[in-house]
Structures are given as structure tokens and as C-alpha cells.
Amino acid sequence: MRLPVGFLARRGLAASGIGERNADRARLYPAEDLLYDAENNIWYRDNGDGTVTVGMTMVAAAMAGQLVAFTPRRAGRAVQAGKSWATIESGKRVEPAKLAFDGEVSNANDALVANPKLANSDPYGAGWLVKVRPKGWAAARASLVSGTAVADRYKRKMPADNFVGCP
């Protein structure tokens, strides 16, 4: 299957090195416009308006399995770095989602609350989790890894997590 030009980029996906006809595997490759916390399998997108969109990576979605519930903190709630801002529940586990920096939840993805499977089917698009207002964003950005640089971290991390790949 040949995808239209820009198809992957519009969804926050980069297919460099694997070719457009392999769209399923392309979901594993990081987008250059995102920042990543590989340890917690979370991505961040600077919205340019003082907020940052937060989502789980395809790796996180695959490791969790089909999501059955997403319970974020309410808008206006402060979150400390390394602390939970949401609970993500799947058939395999219930886990906290941790933020890499201090901030405040500005809004949650209500569509994801209503249909948690969006995080599995479109983790870099419609399946985003929350938007936050980071405190000290410049310092926070420095602690995150850019899209192309995170691939090497995942190559080392995936065997340690006993992760065999995304469906």
C-alpha cells in the first residue's frame, strides 16, 4: 500500500528508512517534531501557545494492550515531575502516567476518556492524553529527547523491557 505524501508526518509519525508501504512498522519510528521521555514511554508536542500535548508512544500502547479506561486529572490540577497525572488501565495492567516536569493539566482528551481504544489505534493523533501548562518549559525540554535521537534509546530499552514489538 502506498501512502499519500505527508500522511505519516500529519499523524506525528516518521517513516524514514523503512519506506512508505510499511505503514504499520512506521508507527514505531519517532517523529522529529515530538519530544520523548523514553523511560516512561511518553511523547510531548509543544503547541506554541504555552501548552504541551502529552501522549503515550506506540510502544507504550503495545505493551499495555487494549486500553479499557483512561482517567486523567481534572483541568487546573497541578502535577509534579515524576508524579501521576492519569491512570491508564488495560486488560494487562493498571499504571500511572508520569509527567517529566512540573505543570498543570489544562485539559484532557474527552474523546479518549469515552473511547480509550483511541490510544491504541492513533497514539500520535486522536489518542493524545492531556494538554499541560509546563513550569520551566525550557529546562523541561532539555531533559527530553528529540524524535530522531530517541530511536537509539528504544533500541536499548526494548530488550530490557522484554518488548518484542508492536502488533
Q: What is the pLDDT of residues 94-153, one digit of tens each?
A: 999 999 999 999 999 999 999 999 999 999 999 999 999 999 899 999 989 887 777 666
In the prediction, which pLDDT does 11 show?
Answer: 39
* Distance (Å, whole) CA 148 – CA 10: 16
Global pTM reads 0.76
* Distance (Å, whole) CA 89 – CA 4: 34
List, for residues 47-77, the tens digit of each pLDDT value. 999 999 999 988 888 888 899 999 999 999 9
pLDDT above 90 for 80: yes
* Domains present along the chain, CATH in parentheses: 34-144 (2.40.50.100)
